[in-house]
Amino acid sequence: MIAKLFSAGADVFRINMSHTSHDRMREMVGMIRDVEKECGRPIGILVDLQGPKLRIGEFAEGSVQLVNGASFVLDSDPTPGDVGRVQLPHPEILSALRPGHTLLLDDGKVRLKTTECMGTRAVTEVLIGGKMSNRKGVSLPDTEIPVSAMTAKDRGDLDAALETGVDWIALSFVQRPEDVTEARKIARGRALIMSKIEKPQAIQRLEEIIEVSDALMVARGDLGVELPLEKVPGLQKRIVRGARKLGKPVIVATQMLESMISIPVPTRAEVSDVATAVYEGADAVMLSAESASGAYPIEAVATMNRIAEEVERDALHRTIINAQRNEPEQTGADAIAAAARTVSETLDLAALIAWTASGATGLRIARERAEKPLLTLSPNISTGRRLALVWGVHAVLTEDAKDVNDMVERGCRHAYKDGFARPGQRVLIVAGVPFGTPGATNMMRIAFVGTDDIEGA
């Protein structure tokens, strides 16, 4: 099934640690790596940490019916609750709540407003009532909770994922940039850190969080619980553009083809939703239940792939992307990347080829969203796997170049072999000299694809 999903268009596979043991995670990683060997193409693996799960306690009778306007107390008393109170076994929440703060229970089905706070006890008014049962989740859109984004379980999951050699770590419950730097210190470059933007508190410090993250995910599910739904589309655009500005990959996720969990075709609205994310310039769009537990996983991936390809054939897509382009920063790497796009389009070259040890050159050129295909050549398989997430990148694993001639010859050979250039066409090759130096992008070379490249392939 993993091989079929990859053939249908999947580039990265996400393992959700909310539902996965360490042994199962290792087993799944092994299966993906086996498919990678069979296909001869780098495949990215993203491990998604669960994050803190905030829940109320239990009720004496299993559930209660809360009515609008009633008073309801949340406290630290472990005694089973009733229609007037229940335990909130999170002292950090009780101490952080303030009068006027909103609490959302069971994905927002029940809404409370805090009226009194006493450190270990909070009195609330029921704004929107309903049935409430044991261990339902709590969301706090107005409250910054003084806890790490990582629980003890997350730390154990992170250590296991790093030992297994995954490529990306998705960090849940990010509220502040310090949450991201904490995970980065543990990872120490062994995997890249993706911040899931799902809390209102993260929106307040979005620019700082983007700065310290390796990538972003627009986690629309939780954003839509803690914020008014009508605000989510605008926030999606803001997050995507903020990430694009700094050259950080960005994923749009949640309910993209939700109806395909049970039927083989999406709704028109879902198609428009996926297309909008592509028009905005997102690096990737993500399926969840559609491919994890749905009845039509292959069809869902293939549908999403077709939508993305069709959008990128539309002239309007290029107009939007060009309008969003930022001026290059005053660095040699930025100047080279911007020039590479301009040269490739002005001369109508067949492809851009970037030699990249760490992936930085590939990321920087991908940020330009050039019209021409982008091949990245790297001696590091981890680099190819990480770049599988990035817009427009066709990653190739190869030995590092010995000299400039070798760099040109093998670049042309791979462009021909993988179907991006024909004999007589020209390609643009970007690299850093000396070879193997991360971030030293300082050279461009235009080369013809010749008959020798065909024979070498």
| Residues belonging to the active site | 14, 55, 196, 254
* Pair of tokens at residue 98: 């303030």
Residue pointed to by tokens 């909130």: 88
Q: Are 194 and 239 in contact (CB under 8 A)?
A: no
Tell me the C-alpha distance between 33 and 43, whole Å.
Answer: 8
For 157-197, the DSSP string reads: HHHHHHHHT-SEEEEPS--SHHHHHHHHHHHTTSSEEEEEE
User: Could you give the dihedral angle defined by the CA atoms of residues 215, 221, 225 and 229, in that order, rounded to the nearest 10 degrees?
Assistant: 90
Closest to 401 (Cα-Cα) out of 428, 376, 359, 431? 431
Q: Which residues contact 209 (CB under 8 A, 6 or more apart)?
A: 174, 176, 177, 180, 195, 197, 202, 216
Tell me the C-alpha distance between 194 and 206, whole Å.
Answer: 13
Tell me the C-alpha distance between 10 and 177, whole Å.
Answer: 30
Q: Are 51 and 148 in contact (CB under 8 A)?
A: no
